[in-house]
Amino acid sequence: MDESPTLWEGLRRRASALRRRYGDIPGGPEDTRSLVSRAAVKFPRGGGLPTAENRDHLYALWTKALCSVLNDLHRRQKTRETHGYKTAVPLEDHHLQTDERDAETLRHMSWALQELARIDDETGESKARILTLRYLDGFTWKEIASELGSSIGTVRREAQFAIAWMRNQLIQRGVPIDESP
């Protein structure tokens, strides 16, 4: 398919029209060029034009990519509004400091996680690995399920069990547990 200026002009006009229709989205594209750049990344081969059968097919693919970018931005904005992510909480120096009680709690938690890993080795389960991937490595539930070859529901259930087990172990050792949600 030829990449003539008229083709690019048509793609740019389509991006401009969609941007106007969606309006300004905070954190979204400031202009049509940035929207075009974000949409181009959705295509393979480093953002080049996709392989299309004809001009209409290309316009359809392009419109789908543009709408995908704008819908993602719109969803992200709605999530921020719904869950209150607009409020910035400053990170002070005292937030970064740990006292001796925190250090002791962390030692107990580390012990409990190692104990859970030992039990997992005996039983062939992976509860300690799930907690490590989720809370220390920052994986999503979907990524953990993929890593372990399991379903998301199973991974979440095993994580809930592991958290309850660790909480029980810490309480038995006399570690103060914060009861806030």
Specify whether 61 is located in the same domain as 42: yes
- Residue 136 is given by DSSP the state I
Specify whether 100 is located in the same domain as 164: yes
Residue 15 and residue 29 in contact, taking contact as beta carbons nearer than 8 Å: no
Under the banding of pLDDT at 50, 70 and 90, the label for residue 180 is very low
The torsion angles phi and psi of 173, rounded to 5 degrees, stand at -85, 0
Residue 61 falls inside a structural domain: yes
Residue 181 falls inside a structural domain: no
Specify whether 100 is located in the same domain as 79: no
Residue type, 178: D
Residue with tokens 């049509």: 32
Element (H, E) at 64: helix 55-83
Q: Specify the CATH number for the domain of residue 126.
A: 1.10.10.10
Specify whether 29 is located in the same domain as 59: yes
Residue 180 falls inside a structural domain: no
Specify whether 129 is located in the same domain as 75: no
Residue 51 falls inside a structural domain: yes
pLDDT for position 10: 77
Measure the N-to-C terminal CA separation of the chain; round to a whole number of Å: 57
Residue 178 falls inside a structural domain: no
Specify whether 97 is located in the same domain as 168: yes
pLDDT for position 181: 41
- Span 77-131, pLDDT tens digits: 777 666 665 555 565 655 555 556 667 777 888 888 899 999 999 988 999 999 8
Domain assignment of residue 68, given as a range: 5-83
pLDDT for position 40: 72
CA dist., res. 9 & res. 32, Å (int): 12
pLDDT for position 178: 66
Specify whether 134 is located in the same domain as 78: no
Q: Identify the domain boundary among 31, 62, 83.
A: 83
- Span 34-78, pLDDT tens digits: 777 777 777 665 555 566 677 777 777 777 777 777 777 777 777
Domain count, the chain: 2
- Span 157-167, pLDDT tens digits: 999 999 999 88
Residues near 176 by Cβ (< 8 Å), separated by ≥ 6? 101, 105
pTM here?
Answer: 0.45
